[in-house]
Amino acid sequence: MNMIQAINSAMDVMMERDPNMVVMGEDVGYFGGVFRATAGLQAKYGKTRAFDTPITEIGIIGVAIGMGAYGLRPVPEIQFADYIYPALDQLVSEAARLRYRSNGDFTAPITVRSPYGGGIFGGQTHSQSPEGIFTHVSGIKTVIPSTPYDAKGLLIAAIEDNDPVLFLEPKRIYNGPFDGHYDRPARNWTAHPASEVPAGHYRVELGKAATVRAGEAVTILCYGTMVHVVASTVEELGIDAEIIDLRTLVPLDIDAIEASVKKTGRCMIVHEATRTSGFGAELTALVQERCFYHLEAPIERVTGFDTPYPHSLEWAYFPGPVRIGEALKKILKD
């Protein structure tokens, strides 16, 4: 399966198992979603379980919270993460706080799916990586898969989770892994081992990172599309890096991070999102606090620049092989 099919399969499996699960969002019903993630669900489960919504992100999330309070398990879709901001109040002030403020009287067991990230010439409003806004919010979990296998297992785990989860899908790798070489022909998932996706139910536990490549020279923390860009760059440069795919940003797998950095003595963080106050800053602080005496070089961050996501300048902006390579040389110098 490619990542779209895996995500679709996760929802299919869960809708089959749980009659309270509903999917909703702009164009998700009859049409099956602009990325086809919900294709076939309305035909199979009916219009009251997979339905199109008006174009109002406030409404989509607010209504999903109300449905959750009733006892349903809604999986709303925000068509692009760039368009999640109108719903920010409902997500931050309501979904994330409902359990806490009502002392468990009401909960918001919703999973908000949204395609995110760049590398597709999406310009300013189809490329953003807003995860840092949500990791800053107490009460919401943030999950980002990097392979079809993980996408399905993590999405099932997210839907089954009784807390609100933001599930960000790296749309650049929906159809195939991306190594950052935008000038080479696109690949599909077929050759990748993680495209082997079981048809039935399985979970990839939230809060657990994956070691994509074991190594001794440097620890690289990344997630989403960047996992593949980092892996390919490391391979090309022949560096013995340990690559950790975080998979869940909140709650974070701190044990995996700590063990790896203590082993390698070096830590590099790669994300597409802008740098200042991005999630990389939190990772930097955590590694600094916990691995200070093991560090042999300053922690490096390779991130998007602190600018809006540009259109024609995309490949200068994107943290691709060149930028990652330079940072690796720098961190390994000492």
Partner 1 sequence: MDALRANLPPLSLHVPEPKFRPGDEADFSDVDVPPAGSARRPDTADKADSFHELAYTLVRVLDENGQAVGPWDPKLDPETLRKMLRSMALTRAFDERMFRAQRQGKTSFYMKSTGEEAVSVAAAMAMAFDDMCFPSYRQQGILITRGYPLVDMMNQIYSNSADPLQGRQLPIMYSAKDHGFFSISGNLTTQYPQAVGWAMASAAKGDTRIAATWCGDGSTAEGDFHSAMIFATVYKAPVILNVVNNQWAISSFSGFAGAEATTFAARAIGYGIAGLRVDGNDALAVYAATQWAAERARTNQGPTLIEHFTYRTEGHSTSDDPTAYRSAGEPTAWPLGDPIRRLRDHLIALGEWDEERQAAMDRECAEDVKRAQKDAEKNGILGHGMHQPFETMFEGVFEEIPWHLKEQQQQMIAERKAAGI
Please write down the HEC assignment for all residues of the chain: CCHHHHHHHHHHHHHHHCCCEEEEECCCCCCCCCCCCCCCHHHHHCCCCEEECCCCHHHHHHHHHHHHHHCCEEEEECCCHHHCHHHHHHHHHHHCCHHHHCCCCCCCCCEEEEEECCCCCCHHHCCCCCHHHHHCCCCCEEECCCCHHHHHHHHHHHHHCCCCEEEEEEHHHCCCCCCCCCCCCCCCHHHCHHHCCCCCCCCCCCCCCEEEECCCCEEEEECCHHHHHHHHHHHHHCCCEEEEECCEEECCCHHHHHHHHHHHCCEEEEEEEECCCCHHHHHHHHHHHHHHHHCCCCCEEEEECCCCCCCCCHHHHCCCHHHHHHHHHHHHHC
Rounded to the nearest whole angstrom, what is the least distance from the CB of residue 27 to partner 1 in the complex?
14
Total of residues contacting partner 1 (CB under 8 A): 48
Part of the chain binding partner 1 (CB under 8 A), chosen from 82-90, 122-130, 146-154, 306-314? 82-90
Q: Does 205 sit near partner 1 (CB under 8 A)?
A: no
Interface mask toward partner 1 for 9-48; x: CB under 8 A: -------------x-------------------------x
**Residue 100 in contact with partner 1, rule: CB under 8 A:** yes
Minimum distance, C-beta of residue 316 to partner 1, in the bound complex (Å): 35
**Binding span for partner 1 by CB under 8 A among 105-113, 176-184, 259-267, 316-324:** 105-113
Nearer to partner 1, 104 or 238 (CB): 104
Q: How far is the CB of 2 from partner 1 (least distance, A)?
A: 31
CB of 68 to partner 1, least distance (A): 8
From candidates 37, 64, 243, 283, binder to partner 1 by CB under 8 A: 64
126 carries an active-site annotation: yes
- Asked if 67 touches partner 1 (CB under 8 A), the answer is yes
- Site string (223-252) toward partner 1, x via CB under 8 A: ---------------------------xxx
Q: Which residues are annotated as catalytic?
A: 126
Q: Which residues bind partner 1 (CB under 8 A)?
A: 22, 48-49, 53-54, 56, 58-59, 61-72, 74, 86, 89-90, 93-94, 97-107, 138-139, 141, 161-163, 207, 250-252, 254
